[in-house]
Structure 1
């Protein structure tokens, strides 16, 4: 949110960290504060004292004794508690001690006389209030962003498409080994998939490419300059929303820095808060997730082309462009077709396969279908999904469900007919990518 939640400050809210780059956190807070606390020492001291008096006296002819005694006792005890600072507490010091350093925050306080939510219906409204929007931090010129600037954004987080498919395939490779016939895959094709996965994992060198679509901010072009505009200001009934483009932060993360299971974090489609630093202060239409490819290309090795060819075998991982599509179905089309087939066959046979199992079988079949050269190989790939969804299904039922889907997927209409209705692809014309360094991911 652009406004701070009432009753709680950032430092008091409970947070669950799923990713923390310790090196980045340490570097940032050291450059700002200097020394970093390693331990916190608390000392508690208790002291007690006691005093006793007694006396007597004689006056005149009266006889009496006079005595006075004083007893003083002091008892002092001390207790020392040492707490070790952890990376989460170090990040807390980083975040709470430098709010002014953030260009965008999720708990920004509402200011007086700023533009009201849902009040901008057209681009002209934005231009009219541009100065006020800039002054109150509701609009940010991309040209004013510098490398190293820090943003806090709420995003829908996901792994890069190729990494998703490679992870899904890697999880079932051992399961398929020795059972290639059950999944409709030839042994040479299986070996090819395993080899491609090993190459991709080697090119990623232990890094996990991820992307996050911003929930709160969108890209708007004003007078030829790109700006980041907060979505809460947009009137849902106006035409301003048709001029907005998705803002997508992209970058690579270290596998070892995740504190939760990677699949739960990146494959669930959940929203998280990200603390990021700008890596490249420009918005781009495409992004190369494999950094090793960029390094190798400097030595005149077309590693980027190699990676693209490899990912095309696994899935349509390349970014969508305006190029004329090939007449043959893409791996993504085949994956949609096999998913549709699996769900239709499950409904026909009254079975309830688990979605991850169906997804893995469909992904594996899509790889086979993309490399198939005749109809028999394609039918065999569908049989692998059928054996996963409904092992006891008769051949006639499988044929009746499969043939219409197979025919639609292979219809030669100049552009492959998508057998399953799915959300429109985020084309390069509607998505702008900002390359960042992910410091922390939490919710």
Structure 2
């Protein structure tokens, strides 16, 4: 093999290895891809795009046979030439349909230099800072480019790529979980006695909410590489590599959430695997708001409904918190009216025994305390009528008198019974007064929200 052939072989292998590395860099597995946005964006950049691509490869083999013969007659000489030529041609045509994934690759290569935010290479070191003030002062300087952003650095429609922890908005997750829970209650009502009636109002709100979503899934993804900070009314995005340099300054930073609405039909994977696992993905998106909001309305129709039925709109806004509290245990069997009254009746009987012991001037043995406590628990359902309550208190009084070897005056015992009922949440006539419910608070921490249009989600 000549030196030239060896060089050509090395060159072919080198080009092939470069192509493999380039293909690996472009390898993406999509979980969501909006084909309308992809084709619209690339068409706005380059104009009409090809729908089909044709590649033709032709191999030709040409052969030639030439024969020469001579004839001599006196002084005259003649020559006869015969030439035969043959050509064999083989053509192969490769036809491939342009797919949205291939078009996305072209779009990404076209837009990569225009992205206002994109993942920072791991090999690049951030500028050194010691205080939050140094970050604020560094904003806008060349050394902080790509590390510190202000919403003024982009306009509506700008494209960005961010690494996020992907999740559906809590109101969507709670709505789906609430539906499953309601079905369980209906299938096994004996497991949740009296609970089905309490679910009617939130169930009606949930049905209205699902109709307003119309197969749309609101996404609230936490940005992994950036956090937000507010200073003198100005909000900045700070790369985590810079924020981590601030010792004890973590309280000044807020999480950044990438929020937007996606279409269920455009997911390439099962949404339960994608939106409920808090997995890490990259998002290519278009910014729809040039500011970072403190809150976000995942169901856009709620704002429209607010002008017609503000009370109903408020109920839908609070549904996420109500459902979250309900499913996490804030609304459990203890909030059932009957169970709640039973628990407070037990409390009243135990308070009554303590007041009787104090009035007698004696004390109880451990065994007597255990016996009276067990008796109070067994009489917990005696709150329904005046007669049942009176009988339960009388049983406790008899146990205390026997344990202390004393006998209390009936009028004094009646006063102590009333005091025990009031302290346990009952009125003087024995009617239970339920305590006001504790306000529910959001499960998610507060943060800043970047409103976007989701173009693609991949890893």
Alignment check: 8 A CA contact 2:69 2:79 kept? yes
- Aligned-pair CA distance for 1:110: 7.3
Partner of 2:329: 334
Pairing 1:231–2:222 present = no
Q: Distance in 1 between matches of 2:314 and 2:24?
A: 47
Partner of 1:89: 102
* SS of residue matched to 2:260: strand
Pairing 1:375–2:339 present = yes
Q: Distance in 2 between matches of 1:170 and 1:133?
A: 52
Pairing 1:79–2:88 present = no
Aligned pairs for 1:126-141 (under 5 A) are: 126-133=135-142, 136-141=145-150
Among candidates 36, 39, 53, match of residue 23 of structure 1: 36
Unaligned runs of 5+ in 1: 1-6, 317-330, 336-365, 380-395, 400-411, 419-423
- Aligned-pair CA distance for 1:226: 1.3
1:147–1:105 distance in 2 versus 1, CA, 3 Å? same
Pairing 1:436–2:452 present = yes
Partner of 1:44: 57
Among candidates 102, 114, 118, match of residue 105 of structure 1: 118
- Aligned-pair CA distance for 1:218: 1.1
Q: Distance in 2 between matches of 1:35 and 1:249?
A: 32
TM-score by length of 2: 0.67
Alignment check: 8 A CA contact 1:213 1:247 kept? yes
Q: Distance in 2 between matches of 1:277 and 1:270?
A: 21
Partner of 1:421: none
Pairing 1:158–2:167 present = yes
* SS of residue matched to 2:161: strand
Pairing 1:204–2:252 present = no
Alignment check: 8 A CA contact 1:120 1:235 kept? no
Partner of 2:4: none
Partner of 1:168: 177
- Aligned-pair CA distance for 1:74: 1.5
Q: Distance in 2 between matches of 1:413 and 1:10?
A: 62
Q: Distance in 2 between matches of 1:17 and 1:33?
A: 24
Partner of 2:269: 260
Pairing 1:53–2:66 present = yes
Partner of 2:27: 14
Unaligned runs of 5+ in 2: 1-19, 344-373, 378-434
1:197–1:415 distance in 2 versus 1, CA, 3 Å? closer
Alignment check: 8 A CA contact 1:44 1:80 kept? yes
* SS of residue matched to 2:89: strand
1:9–1:178 distance in 2 versus 1, CA, 3 Å? same
**Greater Cα shift, 21-30 or 182-191:** 182-191
RMSD, aligned CA = 3.7
Alignment check: 8 A CA contact 2:61 2:88 kept? yes
Alignment check: 8 A CA contact 1:157 1:213 kept? yes
- Aligned-pair CA distance for 1:427: 3.5
Asked which structure has the greater CA Rg, the reply is 2
